[in-house]
A = this chain, B = another copy of it.
Amino acid sequence: MKGVTAPQGFLASTISCGIKRSKRDDLALLYSEVPCLCAATFTTNKMKSGSVVLAETRVKNGISQAVIVNSGNANCCVGKKELRDAEDMTGVAARSMDLDPDHVLIASTGIIGRSLPIKKIKSKIGALVKGLKKANGSKFAKAIMTTDTVPKEVVTEIKIGPTKVKIAGAAKGAGMICPDMATMLAFFTTDAAIEKGALKLAFKEAVADSFNRITIDGDMSTNDSAIIFANGLAGNKTIKKNSAGYFKFIKALKFVATELARKMILDGEGATKFVEIVIKGAKTQKDADIIARHVADSSLIKTMIAGGDPNWGRVAASVGSADVKINKDRVDIYIGNKSAMKNGASTNASLGALKGKEVKITVDLKSGRSSSRIWTCDLTEEYVKINAEYET
């Protein structure tokens, strides 16, 4: 079984209700046969969608059993109707599934500033609930897509004691992907039994290590949501914080999150290359992070990578323009494993064109022990084309 329905007790369903002009499925439901512990992280954008506002409130009680997701409309910047529509949509879904509305979450993604066609949506929720099936995991990953070109889903299995436990995830997000959450939706499911605090902490760490370390264009959306549901149906001995099982769980969860993040980068709008920026030898973690993000968001560097041109001078200029004190005469730059700059001066090495799908740029500040890694993609003419034509 693929996707988010791989762990025991999870079902999914999708349907087209006419939000997307393409008539593709634009409404999706993920459901657990029993109540789940849940944890989540949301966008910090001040213009956040009413769907995010509602989900944030409901996640606080820590128990949930379903999430309804629409694609094609962000339910954002339309005023008080946003929250009303989100309540209405989850309310109808809750009644159809015979659940407490407080146990139904919501996520929306798509165009900002247009009212949700709430009547159309509500009229399809009955059929959506009837369609809940184990086999619909991959359909779920597909229905949440907007400009994505491929669905993104990952499943892994570990053993907690003698018991097999599954962790799965599905995500969408192509443009607008940025550290600290951007138009990215990610849903995780697990049949592990795990303590509430342990789940929360593990999820926070996994997100910090994956989605918060990727950037496509430096923009941040109004709708980002990452949610995990744990229903305990695997019947393992409940995972406690800092136990051996916990470390196994967190490793597996990070694997799923990181793989999804990598898939997002590879599906970045117009992207042709996967780029890893590593900053080493910084005085503080904050310094390393600031420089890594500054370099990763540089249009000049991203276009140079698109062109396969190892113009490392742009990396040096970008490092120097980040708001961090550095000692220029100590800075080393590597393109792949070739040294391009040593102690602030060119090595005059012949670097050759940037071939292959993956490009790694390493900057060693040689001024401390902190480091930071960030993933991004190149900036191509295709990115501009996609985004210039998005709405029309």
Interface residues, chain A, with chain B CB atoms under 8 Å away:
44-48, 74, 76-81, 111-115, 175-176, 178, 217-222, 297-300, 303-304, 306-309, 311-314, 316-321, 325-326, 328, 331, 340-341, 343-346, 353, 379-381, 383-385, 387-392
Contacts and interface: CB of A to CB of B under 8 A. Distances in A.
B306 A219 contact: no
Chain A binding surface, main DSSP class:
loop
Given A303-B383, A384-B379, A346 B391 contact: no
Contacts of A380: 384, 388
A79 B345 contact: yes
Given A47-B320, A219-B321, A391 B344 contact: no
Contacts of A81: 345
A391 to B, nearest CB: 5
A274 B316 CA distance: 29
A298 B326 CA distance: 27
A319 B392 CA distance: 23
A388 B303 contact: yes
B320 A222 contact: yes
Contact of A346 (B78, B379, B384): B78
Given A77-B346, A112-B314, 4 more contacts: A77-B341, A79-B343, A176-B317, A299-B387
B307 A392 contact: yes
A115 B318 CA distance: 20
7 A-B pairs closest in CB distance: A112-B313, A307-B388, A47-B320, A79-B345, A220-B321, A303-B387, A381-B381
A325 B299 CA distance: 27
A362 B379 CA distance: 28
A47 B316 contact: yes
B388 A306 contact: yes
B389 A385 contact: no
A196 to B, nearest CB: 30
Nearest to A325: B46
Contacts of A217: 298-300
Contacts of A392: 307, 309, 353
